């Protein structure tokens, strides 16, 4: 199982993102050399408290749809990770607009698509220089996009049973899955694997209190998927428990 040396997690101020940061930092060895957590807010109490206790945690402000800021953000990341680059990018930030057919609007569709699909692609593109640096060292380098079974066309009935047919969220995650597959093809030559990860139905603000999983269980599962990932897994949709799902 490959260890993570440097990792960037978007949407780390709460929920699964914060759970991933916490899970990495509590490892017996202190976690990766660099853990970079992003938040839209200038300050975040939970992340600030963790940063006070862990010198390897770097908290950066990022608005995922402020594309003009990405070049400057990428330079900040490059300064943190240095010559060995960034070996793990977890595109976790996202929203769920749960509009059904009778209520969905064009604005709902476009907003969810931008946040959940366009933003992760544009950020990955901006961070390609540091990801390629890592790939060039021959150590495992991964882009993990946090997706959902809601984006699974083949098994849409499973998500519908829980959420109903919610058009903006489901289609944005299906688009993210296609982006994952495209990236897996384009980035293979640079030694970078790309995977979509289904985190499970988690007890978060987005998932609701009736979620089947705790944040801790989901976060540890996601990290295990990333650590165990092989070249053959690139481009797939994999559940937090290691199950490979169809698109």
d(C-alpha 212, C-alpha 72), whole Å: 39
DSSP 190: G
On whether the CB atoms of residues 17 and 92 are closer than 8 A, the answer is yes
Encoded tokens for 197: 């990860």
Query: Is the pLDDT confidence value at 1 over 60?
Result: no
pLDDT given at position 51: 95
pLDDT given at position 42: 86
pTM value is 0.95
Summary mean pLDDT of the chain: 94
Residue from 60, 12, 52, 3 nearest 31 by CA: 3
Instruction: Classify domain 6-245 at the CATH class level.
Output: alpha beta
DSSP 114: I
Residues 7-11, mean pLDDT to the nearest whole number? 98
**pLDDT-derived band of residue 209, with 50, 70 and 90 as boundaries?**
low
| Residues above pLDDT 90, as percent of the chain | 85
């Amino acid at each position: 199982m490959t260890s993570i040396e440097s990792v960037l997690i978007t949407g780390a101020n709460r929920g699964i993102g914060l759970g991933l940061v916490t899970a990495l930092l509590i490892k017996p060895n202190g976690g990766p050399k660099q853990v970079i957590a992003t938040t839209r807010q200038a300050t975040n109490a939970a992340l600030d408290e963790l940063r006070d206790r862990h010198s390897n945690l770097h908290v950066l402000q990022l608005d995922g749809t402020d594309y003009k800021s990405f070049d400057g953000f990428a330079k900040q990341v490059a300064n943190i990770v240095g010559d060995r680059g960034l070996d793990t990018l977890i595109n976790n930030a996202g929203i769920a607009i749960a509009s059904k057919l009778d209520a969905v609007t064009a604005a709902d569709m476009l907003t969810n698509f931008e946040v959940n699909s366009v933003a992760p692609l544009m950020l990955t593109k901006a961070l390609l220089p540091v990801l390629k640096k890592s790939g060039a060292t021959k150590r495992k380098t991964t882009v993990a996009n946090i997706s959902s079974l809601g984006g699974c066309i083949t098994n849409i009935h499973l998500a519908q049973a829980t959420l109903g047919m919610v058009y903006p969220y489901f289609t944005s995650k299906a688009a993210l899955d296609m982006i994952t597959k495209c990236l897996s093809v384009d980035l293979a030559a640079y030694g970078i694997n790309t995977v979509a990860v289904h985190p499970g139905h988690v007890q978060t603000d987005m998932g609701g209190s009736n979620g089947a999983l705790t944040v801790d269980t989901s976060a540890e599962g996601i990290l295990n998927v990333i650590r165990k990932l092989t070249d053959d897994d690139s481009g797939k949709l994999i559940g937090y428990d290691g199950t490979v799902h169809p698109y």
